[in-house]
Structure 1
């Protein structure tokens, strides 16, 4: 049974039988913006290019690597990005992830203590105008879901209006076990590097 996460909630990465999860996928799903035409009679869809990225930090909170649409694999090969989605769900919510980042905790460099996920709006469309956006954490592959561990709605809420970047959440290692902190906070940043710096300064 998947957990519906709330902002600030922390969870252990464990299956129903208590076994630790070694590989997780973080999938992000979002919709295109619906625009009303003249007199509100016709509707058009405006493509939305959101970019999911993953930043890896060591135990001293130093940046180790960033995985994003321009760098699809971490240098230790433990984190992989499915590729850039430029439009979102133009035909309505299809229930499928637009971008998926896979993390293999068993192959992470031993010095890595934090794996942070951020979301940036490439064209500057603010989150308040996007009809839906959510993330889910699951076991499986980008094309096959074995077990959904947690779901998290990241679009709704007045606080997202006017923002084009956000910190989705951070996996962190404690007592050699990986846990997840659902942050879900918009930031004032415009670019990925700025958002990574914000994570380093505020969320580790």
Structure 2
């Protein structure tokens, strides 16, 4: 049963059967922008480069590692990025995530207490102009969805218009248990470094 969170909601990730959540994925799906030619007769596609990233912080809220398109695996190998998609879907929505970041909680080094996921539009395309841009945060693997925790409709969400960066959500450890804060907030940042700094200041 899917838990479709609203922004700002928090959930405990301990399962009803007493077992602990092991693996989560953040999947991002989007399309290239369709450009019309003279008189609207010919069309071309403008590539869109969205970048999902994960910032890891220790117990003291100090930044330890960032997994992104130039650093695909965390130092402890618990966070892995599927690789950089530079274009988006060129032939319409194929229903598949263009980028997926996987997080294995058991593999995180012991002092990691926060895993924050952010999204940036690398070339500065306004979120509102990117076809079917959406995010889903779920339990499972890149090829298997077990339970969805949160979904964000970026393309149609009025709050995302005029922005190129956002904070998706933060997994955090409290009393030895992992919980999830569904943030889903756009920021005024223009790149990953700025967005990570915003997370450090406002969302831990």
TM-score normalised by L of structure 1: 0.92
Q: Which residue of 1 aligns with 2:203?
A: 203
Q: Secondary structure at the match of 1:114?
A: strand
Q: Which residue of 2 aligns with 1:108?
A: 108
Distance 1:35 1:18 in 2: 51
The alignment status of 1:140 with 2:148, answered yes or no, reads: no
Deviates more, 1:25-34 or 1:72-81: 25-34
For 1:6-17, list aligned pairs within 5 A: 6-15=6-15, 17=17
Deviations 1:124-170 (CA, angstroms, capped at 9, x unpaired): 1110111222222233332x214133241241222222211111111
The runs of 5 or more residues in structure 1 that have no matched partner are none
Asked if structure 2 preserves the Cα contact closer than 8 Å seen for 1:33 and 1:45, the reply is yes
How much does 1:38 deviate? Answer: 2.5
Asked if structure 2 preserves the Cα contact closer than 8 Å seen for 1:11 and 1:181, the reply is yes
Deviations 1:13-44 (CA, angstroms, capped at 9, x unpaired): 24464532111111111122222333334433
The runs of 5 or more residues in structure 2 that have no matched partner are none
Q: Secondary structure at the match of 2:48?
A: coil
How much does 1:50 deviate? Answer: 0.3
Q: Which residue of 1 aligns with 2:148?
A: 149
Distance 1:16 1:27 in 2: 25
In structure 2, the CA distance between the partners of 1:148 and 1:134, relative to structure 1 (3 Å rule), is: farther
Count of residues paired in the alignment: 203
For 1:183-198, list aligned pairs within 5 A: 183-198=183-198
For 1:58-77, list aligned pairs within 5 A: 58-77=58-77
How much does 1:200 deviate? Answer: 0.2
Q: CA RMSD in A?
A: 1.7
For 1:15-164, list aligned pairs within 5 A: 15=15, 17-142=17-142, 144-155=143-154, 156-164=156-164
How much does 1:90 deviate? Answer: 1.6
Distance 1:33 1:18 in 2: 45
Deviations 1:70-113 (CA, angstroms, capped at 9, x unpaired): 00111111111111011111211111111111111011111111
Deviates more, 1:121-130 or 1:41-50: 41-50
